[in-house]
Copies of this chain bind each other. A is one copy, B any other.
Amino acid sequence: MRKTKQREAILDELTKLCTHPSADELYGRVKKRLPRISLGTVYRNLETLSREGVIQRLDTAGSQKRFDADTGDHRHIRCIRCGRIDDLAAGADRARCDARVAKGTGYRVLGRRVEYLGVCPACGRKTGRR
């Protein structure tokens, strides 16, 4: 994996953000630094970087994929209004749940994806508790 200024800029912008941006959000940011960069380059680099384990491609629902420079074990909470995604600390007692599911279904359980859904503080303020 060669070191290019495009790749550096993409990784740098992603690392600065804690908003778990989509490819085109990131493209918008990086373009301010490298105006000639193409969207394809952003996609390709996000793919390469996540394949190499440098970043994480989030396995969330929604029409766009999202990326995270934090590759540690943590869950996310997503706002059903604005799509914002925030971090949660990792929880405990996973092994027990997985074992129960494996027994019940015959699947070999590799993990589970947990995403809380709610309304973020900003959206909550906008529409007064609703």
Task: List chain A positions with a Cβ less than 8 A from chain B.
Answer: 59-61, 77, 79-80, 86, 88-89, 91, 97-98, 101-102, 104-121, 124, 129
| A80 vs B111: C-alpha distance when bound (angstroms) | 10
Number of chain copies forming the complex: 2
Q: Could you name 16 residue pairs across A and B whose Cβ atoms are closer than 8 Å?
A: A60-B61, A61-B113, A77-B101, A77-B109, A88-B101, A91-B97, A98-B116, A102-B118, A107-B119, A107-B120, A109-B117, A110-B117, A111-B116, A111-B117, A113-B114, A113-B117
CB of A101 within 8 A of CB of B113, answer no
Name the B residues within 8 Å of A79 (CB-CB): 107
Shortest Cβ distance from residue A69 to the other chain B in the assembled complex, whole angstroms: 20
| A108 vs B89: C-alpha distance when bound (angstroms) | 17
Shortest Cβ distance from residue A103 to the other chain B in the assembled complex, whole angstroms: 12
> Who on chain B is nearest to A120 by CB?
B107
Name the B residues within 8 Å of A108 (CB-CB): 118-119, 124, 129
Name the B residues within 8 Å of A112 (CB-CB): 114-117
